[in-house]
Amino acid sequence: MAVALGAGGARGYAHIGALQVLAERGYEVVAFAGTSMGALVGGVAAAGKLEPYTEWSLSLTQREVIRLLDPTLTGGGAIRAERVIGRVGEILDGARIEDLPIPYTAVATDLSARREVWFQRGPVITAVRASTSIPGVITPVVVDGRLLVDGGLMNPVPIEPTAAVTSDWTLAVSLSGPRRAGEAVASGVASANEPGPQQSSPVRLGAGSRALEEIGGRLRAGAAEVLESETVRALSNRWAAWGSKADEDAEAAVEEATEEAVSRELADEGYAPAPRTLGTMDVFNRSFDVTAALITRYRMASNPPDVLVTVPSDACRTMDFHRAAEMIELGRRLTEQAMDAAGRGGLSPG
pLDDT of residue 254: 55
* Cα(303)–Cα(244) distance, integer angstroms: 65
Catalytic status, residue 340: no
Q: Which residues touch 34 (CB under 8 Å, ≥6 apart)?
A: 4, 5, 6, 15, 40, 41, 42, 43, 104, 105, 106, 107, 131, 158
Q: How confident is the model at residue 260 (pLDDT cuts 50, 70, 90)?
A: low
Find the catalytic residue in 36, 57, 133, 176: 36
- pLDDT at 143 > cutoff 60: yes
pLDDT of 158 higher than 70: yes
Q: What is the mean pLDDT of the chain?
A: 80
Active site annotation includes 229:
no
Q: State the greatest distance between any 2 C-alpha atoms of the chain, in Å, as a whole number.
A: 88
Cβ-based burial of 347 (10 A; exposed 0-12, middle 13-18, buried ≥19): exposed
For residue 68, pLDDT over 60 is answered with: yes
- Picking from 37, 36, 43, 44, the residue whose alpha carbon sits closest to that of residue 14 is 37
Among 63-72, 129-138, 282-291, 329-338, the range with the most confident prediction by mean pLDDT is 329-338
Selecting among 57, 131, 133, 150, the annotated active-site residue is 150
pLDDT, tens only, 23-44: 999 999 999 999 999 999 999 9
**pLDDT value for 269:** 63
Q: What is the pLDDT of residues 77-119, one digit of tens each?
A: 889 889 999 999 999 999 999 999 999 999 999 999 999 999 9
Contact in structure between 80 and 31 (CB atoms under 8 Å) = no
pTM of the model: 0.73
Q: Average the pLDDT over each of 35-39, 40-44, 164-168, 280-284 and give the range with the smallest value.
A: 280-284
Report the relative pairing of strands 141-143 and 115-119 from DSSP bridges: unpaired
